[in-house]
């Protein structure tokens, strides 16, 4: 589990961290599964499947087929607005926001200020995220967004929930929305780079490889590298620069540019190196021993 809620610590290997799928709530049924279930009930009363082992096997297969048909016929639940980033990104009727607005006002009274209420909502969002309650996490980030619609950590929360739900393109879109507000935010540029890096890794780890997939992965890496370079040009804090250089090092190592990866590791250390993990250094050292401190 990630210790830092803002995803400033990447995976401890050269592969992308695989986040488990979150099961949605029980979907609704239409008339088809109801009819199939009734048909299944009638089948269970047939007496033609009583005597031979062969007939028993066919009976089991028929039951499984009917159950599968029932499952496939179920409708997928559409997420309510408060479980979608920025409440679906549309103009939301005030009555649909009334409950969250009321909750936010209560939080402001409890914490003493709007800023403290935003911080509390974000912390609750990360706590839910780390437990795998992605819908609840999105709801908490939405509550924070209502109070502070330009907060970069709220957009980071939106994006990471989407990424955990295997919606990487949607996550990139959320980061891009924030960059429209603040195009010079170094950490957000870094986070977009990480998502392109993840897309590259996903292509490289698919079962069946071909030139087209390798070329797609190469394009994603190139986008990531350009964004990392832009991010270090915009970041000013040592903590942010240390994080960005470390993420960049991981991407380079995955792309088998080990010398450049070591250079970024040393640059991360130059700015504090607080995010560097020993497991990554051990893995990188196996591919290439440390060639020495960077001269950059």
Token pair recorded at residue 26: 């029980």
Return per-residue pLDDT of the chain as tens, 296 residues: 444 444 444 444 555 433 333 333 333 334 444 444 444 444 444 444 445 556 666 667 776 766 665 455 444 456 778 788 888 876 666 666 888 888 899 999 999 999 999 999 999 999 999 999 999 999 999 999 999 999 999 999 999 999 999 899 999 999 999 999 999 999 999 999 999 999 999 999 987 888 888 999 999 999 999 999 999 999 999 999 999 999 999 999 999 999 999 999 999 999 999 999 999 999 999 999 999 854 44
Please list, in sequence order, all residues whose beta carbon lies within 8 angstroms of the beta carbon of residue 263, skipping any fewer than 6 positions away: 294, 296
Q: Quote the domain boundaries for residue 105.
A: 78-149
Neighbour count for residue 96 (Cβ, 10 Å): 14
Tokens 């020495």 -> residue: 292
Token pair recorded at residue 153: 């950590």
Angstrom distance (rounded) from CA 172 to CA 160: 10
Please list, in sequence order, all residues whose beta carbon lies within 8 angstroms of the beta carbon of residue 286, skipping any fewer than 6 positions away: none
Rounded to 5 degrees, what are φ and ψ at 61?
-60, -40
User: 284 in a domain, yes or no?
Assistant: yes
Nearest partner of 8 among 280, 196, 240, judged by Cα: 240
Examine the domain organization and report whether 273 and 223 are in the same domain: yes
Examine the domain organization and report whether 219 and 236 are in the same domain: yes
User: 66 in a domain, yes or no?
Assistant: yes
Examine the domain organization and report whether 56 and 84 are in the same domain: no
- Residue 112, sorted as left (phi over 0), alpha (psi -120 to 50) or beta, turns out to be left
User: 155 in a domain, yes or no?
Assistant: no
């Amino acid at each position: 589990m990630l210790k830092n809620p803002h995803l400033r610590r990447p995976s401890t290997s050269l592969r992308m961290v695989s986040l488990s799928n979150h099961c949605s709530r029980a979907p609704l049924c239409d008339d088809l599964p109801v009819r199939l279930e009734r048909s299944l009930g009638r089948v269970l009363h047939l007496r033609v499947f009583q005597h031979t082992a062969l007939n028993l096997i066919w009976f089991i297969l028929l039951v499984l087929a009917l159950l599968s048909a029932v499952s496939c016929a179920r409708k997928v639940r559409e997420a309510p607005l408060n479980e979608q980033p920025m409440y679906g990104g549309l103009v939301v009727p005030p009555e649909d926001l009334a409950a969250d607005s009321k909750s936010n006002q209560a939080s402001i009274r409890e914490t003493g200020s709007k800023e403290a209420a935003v911080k509390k909502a974000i912390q609750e969002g990360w706590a839910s995220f780390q437990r795998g309650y992605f819908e609840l996490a999105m709801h908490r980030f939405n509550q924070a967004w209502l109070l502070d619609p330009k907060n970069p950590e709220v957009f980071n929360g939106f994006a990471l929930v989407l990424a955990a739900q295997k919606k990487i393109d949607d996550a990139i879109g959320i980061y891009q929305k924030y960059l429209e507000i603040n195009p010079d935010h170094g950490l957000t540029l870094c986070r977009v780079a990480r998502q392109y890096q993840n897309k590259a890794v996903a292509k490289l780890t698919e079962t069946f490889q071909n030139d087209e997939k390798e070329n797609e992965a190469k394009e994603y890496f190139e986008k990531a590298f350009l964004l990392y370079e832009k991010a270090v040009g915009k970041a000013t804090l040592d903590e942010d620069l240390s994080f960005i250089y470390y993420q960049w090092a991981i991407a380079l190592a995955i792309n088998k540019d080990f010398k450049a990866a070591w250079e970024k590791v040393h640059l991360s250390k130059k700015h504090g190196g607080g995010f560097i993990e020993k497991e990554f250094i051990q893995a990188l050292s196996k591919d290439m021993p440390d060639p020495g401190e960077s001269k950059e």
